[in-house]
Amino acid sequence: MGRVSGKKVVITGGAQGLGACFGRMLAAEGAKISLTDINIDGARETAEAINADHAGAAIAIEHDVTKRASWEAALSEANDFMGGVSVLVNNAGIGTWGNIETETDDGWRRTQEIDVDSIFIGTQLAMPYLKDNQPGSIINISSVAGLIADGMMLSYNAAKAAVWMMSKSIALHCARSGYDIRCNSVHPVFTRTPIIDPIVELGGGGEKGEKKLTRQIPLQRLGEPEDVGYCILYLASDESRFVTASEFKIDGGITAQ
């Protein structure tokens, strides 16, 4: 038996980066996985790689997390494939770079739409499935940027802080309603995925750019996707059955300063 045997997991943004890593790690511990992404080719590639090691464990589903109709279709397809949905990992997101003087209306709105509105819409639509498949777990990927600010991360700071507090509200509602459905947020620091490429470039690219990022991190390195994946594994499993409305910082110590 794996740590998440029998769990039926939807992971948004599952084509690459953190979402793909979560899919691989959860499948290795016995879960069924629906990898959803706007990048369907990438999601298919990741699902195929998972299925090569764990036959029939994963499916790829085309999904735009900003659209209600797309959520309805994706959840229905995931439910059909897995025989239910018991874990929702709201992982899809974008990073944006801009300060109060340079950010555009479009940059602000796109960030809130993809990083925040998507979690409201998707979690609301997933609730009936989660209620039918208890115990359930909702895992929202925020960021250390939801807890500490940077002058150049105006929209991203606001979005990820909203995800942090929205997770607590969802958790309290579920607990007070008597549902065995938990909700927690996860806050990674810079982690080696394509999302940080533009920031590494801004710092001079390559090793030089990475060094600039790691300077601020007490453990002196970038996060690896697996560092975050172990937290997702715990939160998806029943090992965390008494854990709700909490935030998990996977940050090499950065928020302690």
Binding site for ligand NAD (CB under 6 A): 12-13, 15-19, 37-39, 42, 63-66, 91-95, 114, 141, 143, 188, 190-191, 193-196
Whole-number minimum distance, CB 39 to ligand NAD, in Å?
Answer: 4
Catalytic residue among 129, 156, 179, 230: 156
Q: Which is nearer to ligand NAD, 83 or 205 (CB)?
A: 205
CB within 8 Å of 229: residues ≥ 6 apart: 18, 21, 22, 24, 25
CA–CA separation, 12 and 60 (whole Å): 10
CB 81 within 8 A of CB 59: yes
Whole-number minimum distance, CB 134 to ligand NAD, in Å?
Answer: 26
What ranges in the chain are assigned the alpha helix state H? 17-28, 40-53, 68-82, 105-112, 118-132, 154-176, 197-202, 206-214, 225-236
Whole-number minimum distance, CB 45 to ligand NAD, in Å?
Answer: 11
CB 35 within 8 A of CB 11: yes
Q: Would residue 179 show up in a list of annotated catalytic residues for this protein?
A: no
Q: Which is nearer to ligand NAD, 13 or 136 (CB)?
A: 13
Q: Which residues are known to be catalytic?
A: 156
